[in-house]
Amino acid sequence: MLDQLTKETFEPRRGEVFRLTDEHLPEPLDLTLATVRGNDLRGRADREQFSLHFHGPRDPILPQQIYRLENAELGAMDLFLVPVARDEDGVTYEAVFT
């Protein structure tokens, strides 16, 4: 399924919540899709490479790993998330599609 996802799949979902579940968290964590960025390069899937930035609460800071995210429109997917920024408003996580 991940190989079928494109930048255009996510652009209409900006501002929407993606619920993250992980067995090590006491409860699900809501992340908001903040940005969708493309770069006109082609990756292994012969599609434009792109990245997603999700914004979550300040705590906890999740380590980089694969997480299950679920969106009302797109359903469930497993994405490799990396924390890339933290400020007083929360933590930003990035998922890169190549």
Domain with 17 in it: what CATH number?
2.40.10
pLDDT of residue 40: 64
Domains identified in the chain, total number: 1
Q: For residues 84 and 64, what is the distance between their CA atoms, to the nearest angstrom? A: 10
Q: What is the DSSP string of 4-66?
A: G--HHHHGGGTT-EEEEE-TTSSS-EEEEEEEEEEEEEE-TTSSEEEEEEEEE-SSPPPPSEE
- pTM attached to this predicted model: 0.90
* Residue found under tokens 């992980």: 22
**Contact by Cβ (8 Å): 98, 79:** no
Sign of CA dihedral 32, 35, 38, 43: negative
Digit-coded pLDDT (tens) for 32-86: 999 999 876 665 556 689 999 999 999 999 999 999 999 999 999 999 999 999 9
pLDDT of residue 42: 62
AA letter at 61: I
**Domain encompassing residue 19:** 2-97
